[in-house]
Amino acid sequence: MKKRLRLVIAVAVIAVCFSNVSAEAADDIKVYLNNEHMTFEVAPYMKNDRVMVPMRDIFERLDSVVSWDVNTQSVTAEKDGLTVILGIGMDTMYVGGVPIYLEAVPELTNDKTFVPLRAVSEALDCAVDWDGTKKRVDIVYKWIRQGVYYSEFSSVADFGAYFGISPVSVVKDTETNGYIYNYDISSVEPGAAERYLDILKSSGFINVNGNGYVVSAKDSVTVLTGKSGGIFRIVVYTD
């Protein structure tokens, strides 16, 4: 009886040790979005040399609307008209209806749905870097990596370059020493104005709604965005 009891205790101790090792290994993985550290309710872990993260956390941080179908055990994420679908245990992800093979499949861990970080991030137009020495993942919006900023303002995303349109005019504002960028509103895709505000926010700007326009501020730079007649206008100036 005593021998059996010692065996049970030994197994329990070993289980705890392995549990602690797994937790420490998981906690060692750090994830950054645009150089901002992300925290998760359940820590990321490695599977098949791929970092797995909680599904809802990663999709929502990448500005996606997420829904879960309990019947099919699948998750659908929507962003800017793009639909991404993954299923528990399925090695295929659908991005805009196009099948993409997954080397690490979504799975349930600690009552959470985990998905491969690189695959879902790249599906949502992000670039991903992995530093194995530091166990650090960097997710960066591609527009940031490409450096599509206004030539006059290196910290302000170039609206036209990002959305693939050219301004009808660029006017220098002599009073503020700023610039006014005018875009034909018929060329601006639906949701682009809102997405642009998200882009500014992701790079550190604080957005405040005004009367028919939005003020975005960061350090000494101020950006005003709004519609006027058939023009979508962006005004950028420094204090």
Q: Are 66 and 55 in contact (CB under 8 A)?
A: yes
Q: Can you read off the two tokens belonging to residue 133? A: 């020495």
Nearest to 141 by CA among 99, 84, 79, 217: 79
Q: For 9-18, 47-56, 141-150, which range has the lowest pLDDT when averaged over its residues?
A: 9-18
How confident is the model at residue 34, as a pLDDT? 78
Predicted confidence (pLDDT) at residue 5 exceeds the cutoff of 50: no
- Split at pLDDT 50, 70, 90, the class of 10 is very low
To the nearest whole number, what is the mean pLDDT of the chain? 84
Q: Which tens digit of pLDDT belongs to each residue from 176-227?
A: 889 999 999 999 888 888 888 988 887 789 999 988 899 999 999 999 999 9
* % of the chain surpassing 70 pLDDT: 87
How confident is the model at residue 100, as a pLDDT? 94
Q: Find the helix or strand (DSSP H, E) in which 37 lies.
A: strand 36-38
Look up tokens 């030994």; give the residue. 10
Domain-by-domain residue ranges, the chain? Answer: 27-143, 147-238
SS3 (DSSP) at 165: coil
* % of the chain surpassing 90 pLDDT: 51
Predicted confidence (pLDDT) at residue 21 exceeds the cutoff of 70: no
pTM comes to 0.56
The CATH number of 27-143, from 3.40.190.10, 1.10.3720.10, 3.30.457.10, 3.30.830.10, is 3.30.457.10
How confident is the model at residue 143, as a pLDDT? 67
Predicted confidence (pLDDT) at residue 3 exceeds the cutoff of 70: no
How confident is the model at residue 27, as a pLDDT? 52
How confident is the model at residue 14, as a pLDDT? 34
How confident is the model at residue 163, as a pLDDT? 81
Residues ≥6 apart with Cβ < 8 Å to 73: 87, 88, 89
Predicted confidence (pLDDT) at residue 24 exceeds the cutoff of 70: no
Q: Which tens digit of pLDDT belongs to each residue from 30-68?
A: 999 877 889 998 999 999 899 999 999 999 988 899 999
How confident is the model at residue 8, as a pLDDT? 37
How confident is the model at residue 144, as a pLDDT? 67
Distance CA 217, CA 21 (A): 44
